[in-house]
Structure 1
Amino acid sequence: MKTKLIAALAIAGTATIAFAKENPMVGGAPMLDTKTIAENASAAPNLTTLVAAVTEAGLAETLMGPGPYTVFAPTNDAFGMISKASIEKLMMPENKQQLQQILTCHVVATEAFSTDIAGMISDDGGMHVVPTVGGCNLEAYMEGGELKLKDENGRIATVTTADVDQSNGVVHVIDRVLLPSGQAG
Structure 2
Amino acid sequence: MFNRTWRSLALVTLPASLALAACSSEPGEAPATEATDRDTVAQAIASAGNLSTLSGALTDAQLAGVLDGSGSYTIFAPTDEAFAALGESGQLLLEVEQRPLLVGLMREHIVPGHITPDAIRQAIDAEGGPVTMTTMGGGSLTFSREGDAISVSRDGTNSATFASEGTEAGNGVVIPIDAALIPQGATNAGASDETGAAAQ
Could you state the TM-score of these two structures normalised by the residue count of structure 2? 0.72
Q: Is the 8 A contact 2:32 2:116 kept in 1?
A: no
SS in 1 for 2:151: strand
Q: Which runs of 5+ in 2 are unaligned?
A: 1-22, 25-29, 189-200
Q: Is the 8 A contact 2:32 2:165 kept in 1?
A: no
CA distance in 1, matches of 2:146, 2:113: 24
Of Structure 1 and Structure 2, the greater helix share is in: 2
| 1:76-115 aligned within 5 A | 76-87=80-91, 89-115=92-118
Q: Is the 8 A contact 1:70 1:109 kept in 2?
A: yes
The corresponding residue for 1:179 is: 182
Correspondent of 2:43 among 32, 39, 42: 39
Offset at residue 123 of structure 1 (A): 3.3
Aligned residues: 161
Q: Is the 8 A contact 2:44 2:174 kept in 1?
A: no
CA distance in 1, matches of 2:36, 2:97: 35
Taking only the aligned residue pairs, the percentage that are identical comes to: 31
CA distance in 2, matches of 1:164, 1:47: 12
The corresponding residue for 1:8 is: none
Q: Which runs of 5+ in 1 are unaligned?
A: 1-18, 26-30
Offset at residue 33 of structure 1 (A): 4.2
Name the aligned partner's letter for residue 63 of structure 2.
L
Q: Is the 8 A contact 1:140 1:148 kept in 2?
A: yes
Offset at residue 34 of structure 1 (A): 2.8
CA distance in 1, matches of 2:33, 2:121: 19
The corresponding residue for 1:5 is: none
SS in 2 for 1:161: coil
Q: Is the 8 A contact 2:45 2:174 kept in 1?
A: no
Correspondent of 1:123 among 113, 122, 126: 126
Name the aligned partner's letter for residue 79 of structure 2.
T
Larger CA Rg, structure 1 vs 2: 1
CA distance in 1, matches of 2:84, 2:71: 29
Deviates more, 1:60-69 or 1:149-158: 149-158
Please give the root-mean-square deviation of Cα atoms over the aligned residues, in Å: 2.4
Could you state the TM-score of these two structures normalised by the residue count of structure 1? 0.77
CA distance in 1, matches of 2:133, 2:187: 20
SS in 2 for 1:73: strand
CA distance in 2, matches of 1:148, 1:176: 10
CA distance in 2, matches of 1:167, 1:109: 14
